[in-house]
A = this chain, B = another copy of it.
Amino acid sequence: MLDKTLRMNYLYDFYQSLLTQKQRKYMSQYYLDDFSLGEIAEEFEVSRQAVYDNIKRTEVMLEEYETKLMLLTKFERRTAIVSEMKAAITNGATPEEVMSLLDSLENLN
């Protein structure tokens, strides 16, 4: 399991297009730019609590999108197979072995 911040960064990366403009601003400042809740509140002239509530709701939404679409999960599975293929090729795998890994990649799609 990824640590919370890293996981939110990934989920934000996959699903940001489904968020509102405000959600994107708060999330990117909090998770990507590492601003504090207080700093974000000051910039947008809202209460610290309002920023906190918005970010918490967004985190729940991102996890719900992941439950439904599994983009991060599928990305991790594809990445693992690609790494496995690279290692196999480096270690002199036969064409048949590489083909079989390609099949498992296709089945993930």
A residues sitting closer than 8 Å to B (CB atoms) are: 15, 17-18, 68-69, 71, 75, 78-79, 82, 85-86, 89-90, 92, 95, 98-99, 102, 105-106, 109
Contact = CB atoms under 8 A, between A and B. Distances in A.
A109 B18 contact: no
Given A86-B99, A95-B89, A102-B85, A78 B109 contact: yes
Copies of this chain, count: 2
A15 B89 CA distance: 35
Contact of A86 (B68, B78, B85, B102): B102
A79 B109 contact: yes
B98 A82 contact: no
A98 B90 CA distance: 11
14 contacts: A17-B69, A18-B68, A18-B69, A69-B71, A75-B109, A78-B109, A82-B102, A82-B105, A82-B106, A86-B102, A89-B95, A89-B98, A89-B99, A92-B95
Given A18-B69, A89-B98, 15 more contacts: A17-B68, A18-B68, A69-B71, A75-B109, A78-B109, A82-B102, A82-B105, A82-B106, A86-B102, A89-B95, A89-B99, A89-B102, A90-B95, A92-B95, A98-B98
